[in-house]
Structure 1
Amino acid sequence: MSAPARTGRGIVVYRWTDDTRLPTAEARLALGEALADLGVAEEVREDAQLVLSELVANAAEHACGPYEVRLQRILSEWVCEVADGDPELPQLPQFPPDLLLAPDEEKRGGGLDSLLSLLGERGRGLQIVHQLSGGEWGFCRTGKTKVAWFVVGPVAP
Structure 2
Amino acid sequence: MKPHHTACAPPFVVWRWTSCTPNALAQARAALRCALDQLGYEGEVISDVVLAVSEFVANAMEHAVGPYEMRLLRTAAEVICEVEDRDPHIPAIPVFPADAPFTLVREDRGGGLEALCALLSERGRGLHIVHELTKGTWGFRSWRGTKTAWLALPAVPRRFRP
Is TM (by shorter chain) over 0.5? yes
Counting only pairs closer than 5 Å after superposition, residues 30-109 of structure 1 correspond to structure 2 as 30-97=31-98, 98-101=100-103
Number of residue pairs matched by the alignment: 139
- The one-letter amino acid of 1:25's match is A
Higher strand proportion (structure 1 or 2): 1
Residue by residue over 1:33-79, the C-alpha shift from the partner in whole angstroms, topping out at 9 and shown as x without a partner, is 00100111322111000001111000000000010000001222110
RMSD over aligned Cα atoms: 2.3
Deviation at 1:122, TM superposition (A): 3.7
Is the 1:130–1:137 contact (alpha carbons within 8 Å) kept by the matching residues of 2?
yes
- The one-letter amino acid of 1:99's match is P
Where 2:55 maps in the other structure, the secondary structure is helix
Distance, in Å, in 1 between the alignment partners of 2:80 and 2:39 is 13
Distance, in Å, in 2 between the alignment partners of 1:150 and 1:101 is 19
Shift in alpha-carbon separation, 1:122–1:11, aligned structure 2, 3 A:
same
Shift in alpha-carbon separation, 1:39–1:102, aligned structure 2, 3 A:
closer
Could you list the structure 1 runs, at least 4 aligned residues long, displaced by more than 6 angstroms after superposition: none
- The one-letter amino acid of 1:89's match is I
Given the two structures, how large is their TM-score scaled by the length of structure 2?
0.77
Given the two structures, how large is their TM-score scaled by the length of structure 1?
0.80
Listed as ranges, the gaps of 5+ residues in structure 2 are 1-8, 106-113
Distance, in Å, in 2 between the alignment partners of 1:39 and 1:153 is 12
Distance, in Å, in 1 between the alignment partners of 2:71 and 2:34 is 13
Is the 2:79–2:153 contact (alpha carbons within 8 Å) kept by the matching residues of 1?
yes
Shift in alpha-carbon separation, 1:40–1:102, aligned structure 2, 3 A:
closer
